[in-house]
Amino acid sequence: MTDINYYDPLIVDVLPHEEGMQVRTVLERRLGVSRKLLSRLKLTEQGITLNGNRVYTSEKVNAGDQLAIRMEKERSDDILPQPMELEILYEDDDLLVVSKPAGIIVHPTHGHYTNTLANGVVYHWQQRGEQVRFRPIHRLDQDTSGVVAIAKNPYIHQQLSEQMQRDEMDKEYYAFVFNVPTPASGTVNEPIDRDPEQPHIRIVTLDGYPSVTHYETLHSYGNGAAALVALRLETGRTHQIRVHMQHLGCNLIGDQMYGRTETHLVPWMSEAEAAAGRQALHARRLAFTHPGTGQRISFAAPLPFDLLRLEQQLLALPNEID
């Protein structure tokens, strides 16, 4: 039997205190394997083995036994490979971390089957001879730039998704906003849900889902006319930063959905929005524990050219603005 269609196995040597435990218990405790992934592994011939033999997850183990799980290699056959310039921050057998430019959708959707990050990543893996399915850990809006992590097998995806759910993954964003938040640093703990009259819009509402955003003003421009704000998310609601900043009266510059409506009447505002060309939001840093090595790793993406151009415009604002 060859393992050509499998990723390298994850191996667990059974310890003395694990004597008599069930296979599923050892795998869940030692590797953190979810019940869902165990169910998938049981369907493949080499998915779960004990001392080299296929085994039921209810079977009991002895000290010194060797457990192994093997995941079948998969491909994203529904994603068209497409040459694309990728800014790769990190890659190994388990993970790919890239800096996504603004204007690019992460995953194909109805009406957007090409020119997405997924198309470029699948092509990149194809050129490397890797058989991998596209599994982003999180997504960014089309017009948000910055760090995106992509798992290269279902175990890594499960582990990182759980870190995100437990708020063990640090996600820091930079946003250029109108006005300066009051107070300058703090936490927005306001529930968010869909606007019942406009389902594609999110709003702060008492009946919404718990949503928590921590923010810190890094710099103010034009005597408080605008600011650069660092934000860290505890939750990951759709449009969370944009909605919470709007709630503070600090709409993101260039935000066509949640932005201010009078910017075309104020020259410096319209110039700032033109300089940004999109919502001025950037996923600057992402940190998490690598499931394969147990090491804490961190990745950062500097501000892209369009936001640097916006920053230069804001720095040139006079101290007093009508």
3 state SS for 198-226? EEEEEEECCCCECCEEEEEEEEEECCCCE
The predicted pLDDT at position 2 comes to: 46
Res 4: pLDDT: 53
> Is pLDDT of 86 > 70?
yes
**pLDDT at res. 322:** 56
Is residue 311 pLDDT above 60, yes or no?
Answer: yes
Q: Is residue 129 within 8 Å of residue 123, measured between CB atoms?
A: no
Quote the pLDDT of residue 265: 79
pLDDT higher than 60, residue 3: no
pLDDT in tens, 122-150: 999 999 999 899 999 998 999 999 999 99
Q: What is the mean pLDDT of residues 27-43?
A: 88
Give tens-digit pLDDT for 222-259: 999 999 999 999 888 999 999 999 999 999 999 999 98
Task: Tell me the CATH number for domain 170-315.
Answer: 3.30.2350.10
Whether 10-69 shares its CATH topology with 170-315 is answered no
Tell me the average pLDDT of the chain.
Answer: 92
Alpha-carbon distance 206 to 204, whole Å? 7
304 DSSP 8-state letter: P
Q: Residue 65: is its pLDDT beyond 80?
A: yes
What are the residue numbers of the active site? Answer: 141
Strands (E), the chain: 10-13, 48-50, 53-54, 66-69, 87-91, 95-100, 135-136, 145-151, 170-178, 185-189, 192-195, 198-204, 212-221, 226-233, 281-289, 296-300
User: Which runs of E-coded beta strand occur in 57-211?
Assistant: 66-69, 87-91, 95-100, 135-136, 145-151, 170-178, 185-189, 192-195, 198-204
| Encoded amino acid at 191, one letter | P
The pLDDT confidence band at residue 307, using thresholds 50, 70 and 90, is: very high
Work out the angle between the directed axes of helices 305-315 and 267-276 (0-180°, nearest 10): 160
**Amino acid letter at 308?**
L
pLDDT of residue 321: 65
Q: Is the pLDDT of residue 109 over 90?
A: no
Rounded distance between C-alpha atoms, residue 116 and residue 126, angstroms: 16
Q: Which two tokens stand for residue 180?
A: 């300066």
**pLDDT tens digits for range 139-187:** 899 999 999 999 999 999 999 999 998 889 999 999 999 999 999 999 9
Domain residue spans of the chain: 10-69, 87-165, 170-315
DSSP state of 22: B
Fold of 87-165: Pseudouridine synthase (3.30.2350)
177 close to 221: Cβ distance less than 8 angstroms = no
Cite the beta strand spans of 132-290 per DSSP E.
135-136, 145-151, 170-178, 185-189, 192-195, 198-204, 212-221, 226-233, 281-289
CATH number of 10-69, picked from 3.30.10.20, 1.20.1250.20, 3.30.750.210, 3.10.290.10 = 3.10.290.10
Average pLDDT for residues 26-42, to the nearest whole number?
Answer: 89
Summarised one tens digit per residue, pLDDT across range 281-292 is: 999 999 999 998
Question: Among the ranges 66-70, 265-269, 296-300, 316-320, which has the highest mean pLDDT value?
Answer: 296-300
pLDDT digits (tens, 9 = 90+) for 209-218: 999 999 999 9
Q: How far are the Cα atoms of 16, 30, 42 from residue 23, in angstroms, in the given order?
A: 14, 11, 12
